[in-house]
Amino acid sequence: MITRRRVLAFVMAGGEGTRLSPLTQDRSKPSVPFDGKHRIVDFVLSNLVNSHIYSIYLLVQYKSQSLIEHVRATWTLTPFIPEHFVTVVPPQMHKGPEWFQGTADAVWQNLHLIEVHRPDIIAVFGADHVYRMDVRQMVQFHCEKDADVTVATLPVPLAQCKSFGIVRTDADARVTGFEEKPEETAPMPGSQTHALASMGNYLFKPERLVAALRDAHNEQGTDFGRDVLPRLLDDRRIYAYDFASNVVPGVQPYEEKGYWRDVGTIEAYFDAHFDTLGTEPRFRMSNAAWPIFGRPEHAGSAQIERGAITRSTLGAGCVINGARLMRTVLRREVVIEEDAELDTCIVMDRSHVGPGARIRRAIIDAENIIPPGMRIGYDLAADRERFHVSESGIVVVGRGQLRGA
- Per-residue model confidence as pLDDT tens digits over 236-270: 899 999 999 999 999 999 999 999 999 999 999 99
Same domain, 89 and 204: yes
Q: Is the pLDDT of residue 405 over 60?
A: no
The whole-number average pLDDT for the span 16-38 is 91
Three-state SS at 159: helix
Q: What is the pLDDT of residue 296?
A: 84
Percent of the residues in the chain that have a pLDDT greater than 70, as a whole number: 97
What type of residue sits at position 76? T
Nearest to 338 by CA among 326, 352, 348, 350: 352
Q: Which of 7-11, 85-89, 233-237 has the lowest mean pLDDT?
A: 233-237
Instruction: Give me the pLDDT at residue 99, please.
Output: 63
Predicted confidence at residue 58, as pLDDT, reads 94
Domain that holds residue 317: 303-397
pTM for the predicted model, two decimal places: 0.94
Q: What separation in angstroms does the CA of 212 have from each of 102, 105, 139? A: 15, 11, 20
- Say whether pLDDT at 1 is over 50: no
Task: Give the E-state strand segments of 311-394 in sequence order.
Answer: 313-314, 319-330, 335-336, 341-347, 352-353, 358-364, 369-370, 375-376, 388-389
Please give the span between the terminal C-alpha atoms of the chain, in angstroms, as a whole number: 63
127 inside domain: yes
Q: What is the pLDDT of residue 91?
A: 74
Residue 288 inside a domain? The answer is no
Does residue 14 sit in the same domain as residue 147?
Answer: yes
Asked if residues 273 and 329 have their Cβ atoms less than 8 Å apart, the reply is yes
- For residues 95 and 25, the model is more confident at 25
- Residue that terminates a domain, selected from 236, 262, 288: 262
Instruction: Report if residue 279 sits inside a domain.
Output: no
Same domain, 242 and 321: no
Q: How confident is the model at residue 98 (pLDDT cuts 50, 70, 90)?
A: low
268 φ/ψ angles, rounded to the nearest 5 degrees: -65, -40
* Number of independent structural domains in the chain: 2
Burial class of 149 by CB neighbour count within 10 A (0 to 12, 13 to 18, 19+): buried
298 is a domain residue? no
